Structures are given as C-alpha cells and as structure tokens.
Amino acid sequence: MTQQLSPNWWREAIIYQVYPRSFNDTNGDGVGDLPGITAKLDYIAQLGVDIVWISPFFKSPMKDFGYDISDYCDVDPLFGTLADFDAMIAKAHSLGLKIMIDQVMSHTSEQHAWFAESRKSRDNPKADWYVWADAAPDGNPPNNWMSVFGGSSWQWDTRRRQYYLHNFLVSQPDLNFHNPEVQQAHLDCLRFWLERGVDGVRMDACNFHFHDRQLRSNPPALVRDTATVSDVNPYGMQAHIHDKTQPENVAFLQRIRKLLDEYGAVAIGEVGADDSLAVMAEYTEGGDKLHMAYSFNLLTPQCSARHIRTQVEQFGARVKDGWASWSVGNHDAVRVMTRWGGDQPDPEFAKLVLAMQLSLKGTPCLYQGDELAFTESDVPFELLQDPYGITFWPEFKGRDGCRTPIAWEAATNGGFTEGKPWLPVDEKHIARAASVQERDPQSPLAFARRFIAWRRTMPQLTRGDITFFDAPEPVLALRRDAEGERSVLAVFNLGRDATTLPLPQAAGAQTITDPGLPGSVAADGTVTLPPYGAWFGYVK
C-alpha cells in the first residue's frame, strides 16, 4: 500500500463508486466486469479521486444483483476471477488509487452454504446462524416487521416449519448476529480480502445486523418516513425500533474497526434509519467504530439550501469527533441531475452540485456518471430488472434508471459492450459520452477534473470547520475555516434564475478564480450569481 501522509487521510479523500454491472464490459456478455474496471482505472485516476468503492462482485445468484451473496470469498464468474481482482488491485495501487469493497453482512443469499445447512433442521451446527422464529398461534408471522422491498419480512420455511427473517428480498435471509460464530465468520471473510490488499470496506445496511431478541413488534411511525423508502411503500409506516439499529451493533462495529486497523484500512457505513443522523454520529464517534458514515438524507428529492444546511448542521451538532460522508447519488437513488435538476436539467447544474458537495465538511462520495451529468434513464417495464421496481410499478419504478450502463463512446451501446447490455444504454447519455466530453474543455467532466484538482490545494475545504450563513432560497452560503489558513466563503445558487444578494461576510473579500464557476462580489459584499452559479472568496 502507498504510504499515508496522515492517519486521517480519508477525511481529505474523495470516494468514487463503481457499479460493476454497468461500468465496462470486456467479454461481450452485456454485463460489466472486473477487467473492465481495470481498463478504466486511468479514467478514474484522471478524475482526481482517491478511493474506488466497488459494489458487490462476489458469487451470487444475482436476484438482487450481487447484494445477495452466496460466497463471500470468491468472485462471481460473471465478473471474472480472483486473479482478475488481484490484477485490478495492483493496477489501482500503481495509480495511487485505493480499493474499497462492498460488504453485505446483514444477510446472505438463500443459496449460501450457511443457509442451506441452517434450514435443514433445528439442531444442526448452523441452526442458529439465521433468525428463525415459530409462527404465532394462528399461523401468522411472529410479529409485524416489514421488508424494505414490501410485505412481511418473515417467510415460512417448510423444512424447519418456522419463519425466517428477511429485511429485504425473500431470497435474502438475515443472519443472527447474536451468535458469536456469525460475527467471527464475517471477520474471517473480511480478513481474506484485506490480505489481498483491499484498502477499505463499505458496509451495506450497517445498522441491520442485530434484531430485538424478544421479537417485539414495531409501533406505528409518528412521522411517515419518505426519506429512505418510496412513499408508496408501507415500510415507512412503522417506527423501526426493534428490527434494526440495536445497541449490540456498536460492539460488533468495534470488532470490525480493530481488524481494519491491523491493515490500515478504512470503513464507511450506509445508514438507513428513522433518525439516521443520530446513528451516523453514534457509529463514527470515538475513533473505534466506523471511520465515516452516510445516510439517504441528501439522496431525497429535497434540494433546498435549507435542507442541505440542516443535514450538515444537525450532524455537526450531534457528533463529537466522528465524520460524515455526503453523497448526492448512488445505485439506489434517482440520479441527482433528474432528482434535483428536473426533467430537462442544464448540464451547468451538474457543475454546481459537484462544487457544493465537495465544499461540505465530510468525505464526498461520487457516483459513476454524475461527473458526466447523466440523467435518470426511463427504463420500460418490459426491460426492468430490479425486483423492487417490478413490485411497486408503476408508482415507483425501482433503481434501474440510475443503473444503466456508462456511455464511454458516441457509438452503439455507448461503447459499454459489444453484446446486448443487461439494461439499455440511454441515448441521452451517448450524446454526453465520456469521449465526447474529453474533447470539450467546458464539459461537466472537464470541470469535475479541474475542481477536484483545485480542492486538493485547499485545506479549508478538505479538513476545515464549517459555518453556514442566512441567505434567501435558493442560495446556500457557508464558510470553511482551517487553522493557519485564510477563511474561505462559498456561495451557491441552486436555482435556475440569476440572483444578487448582500452578504455582509463577503465585504472586502478577495475572489478566488481557480474554481472556474461564474459569480462575482462587489466591495460592499454584494454577491451576484448567474443561474447555477457559485462564488468562492477569501474573507478576513
């Protein structure tokens, strides 16, 4: 591994998420693979990011496209081999990139050998490795817990004549983390990858590991949750106080951290909870659990300056010494260009969102294609692959729209594959293909590279404290302060209309020209911003 400059290097880093199925296909089967990632690592390195988070590539029946793992210690043939993985790690490290793998610990595939043994009987060696429960006297499930993907989270199994818990698909049985053997098995599997040179781990659904031993039913939600689930999904009608986010999880995360520290590796956790900011704070403070965590709070349709400010300020108020990772896009959310930008978003909006995200206090996590200003794809029902979308169609179309393959070239299938892509390549994306933007110095891609390079020179933005100032919507105004450095004031116009506003803090400020965003300030502190404009300045 590359020698680190400081033990907190990850706080100054930028994460780039690769969804391997849709990144780059090298064998013509229509599905991206590990050699495809290796072939594009130069592109990622040129973007200027530090960590490459790769969504699951482990053996899987692919009912949830890799988030249903049947073997934690091998690569699915769809993506390649362990040798391909080793080659990818070697290439990444040669470019100064770190590799972060996606660990799905809360559940496995129903085809995992552990579950095959567990369901055989109630007295086999792995009988207690999953969450099993007897039926209620009337034959119903033991409680009212619901699956994130719809319906009861309990499935009857005729072999054991018991129900098993599945917080997600029926084919994703939940492991019983109250069993120490389950915890140790996961630690052993994680060590397998750390020994192969992995630099970090993204922990999927990291607050789902433990459940209430008494299997108490959840009460109704006092406030309907539409932040982490679609509003057509009844999952949000419950207060999820018994089926996840249990206190025992803290000790397990401490065990994970101890193992990671042996290798100098880092961890980021995905938190989907009724009060996700509180959980993020709890799981990252103290320096003995997760290094950082992110929630779905900036993955919602809300894009007001007030909402963004509230999320960052509330995290800062609740956390002692933990760290956030702010993500505005991933493989589970409508692409930010559509979610925040509307039906026909201006490519300039992508530049504004990137600059804003990279100016917040925390480690930014970018999603593949966002640097190209890709919009959400409209996948017709007959081509849908996501079981979540198929279940809730047509009011909720699932996650396929943000998972369509990357368009690398202005060519058939966007140069993603020589075969038939597993999801259609969006024609709008082909018009904005990476190769097209490479030739345009004003493209979103060119801007992303410039801004990321500039941010690296600004310790105020990578490690400084953050303070927000009152400004009328849709303007977000903030200051970043780092010891020994001049304070930086940043003002962002999230709206489609130009705006001019007085900002007393900006009086006498010196404009920073390097960011390359349109915006200006007068001597009296009046800031003028065009649509989707921003201004950065040194202030006294």
Catalytic residue positions, numbered: 204, 262
CB atoms within 10 A of CB 318: 16
Going by C-alpha positions, the residue among 88, 93, 105 that lies closest to residue 18 is 88
* The two structure tokens encoding residue 312: 């960052």
- DSSP code at position 130: B
Written as one letter, the residue type at 460 is: Q
- Dihedral class, residue 533 (left if φ above 0, else alpha if ψ from -120 to 50, else beta): beta
Q: Sort 81 into a burial class: Cβ within 10 Å, 0-12 / 13-18 / 19+.
A: middle
Written as one letter, the residue type at 401 is: G
Buried/exposed code over 10-27 (b: 16+ C-beta within 10 A; e: otherwise): bbbbbbbbbbbbbbbbbe
Task: Count the alpha carbons within 13 Å of 360 in the hemisphere toward its beta carbon.
Answer: 27
- C-alpha–C-alpha distance, residues 267 and 477, integer Å: 30
* The two structure tokens encoding residue 480: 């970043």
- DSSP codes joined into one string, 90-122: HHHHHTT-EEEEEE--SB--TTSHHHHHHTT-S
- DSSP code at position 235: G
- C-alpha–C-alpha distance, residues 492 and 477, integer Å: 6
* The two structure tokens encoding residue 247: 């206190």
Query: Secondary structure of 149-210 in the HEC alphabet?
Result: CCCECEEEECCCCEEEECCCCCCCCEECCCCHHHHHHHHHHHHHHHHCCCCEEEECCCCCCC
Compute the residue count for the chain.
540
- C-alpha–C-alpha distance, residues 74 and 59, integer Å: 6
- C-alpha–C-alpha distance, residues 107 and 63, integer Å: 13
For the range 377-382, what are the long-range contacts, defined as Cβ-Cβ under 8 Å and sequence gap of 24 or more? Answer: 377/401, 377/402, 377/404, 377/423, 377/424, 377/426, 377/428, 377/429, 379/404, 379/423, 379/424
- DSSP code at position 407: -
Going by C-alpha positions, the residue among 533, 537, 532 that lies closest to residue 521 is 537
Q: How far apart are the first and last CA of the chain?
A: 40
Q: Are 233 and 168 in contact (CB under 8 A)?
A: no
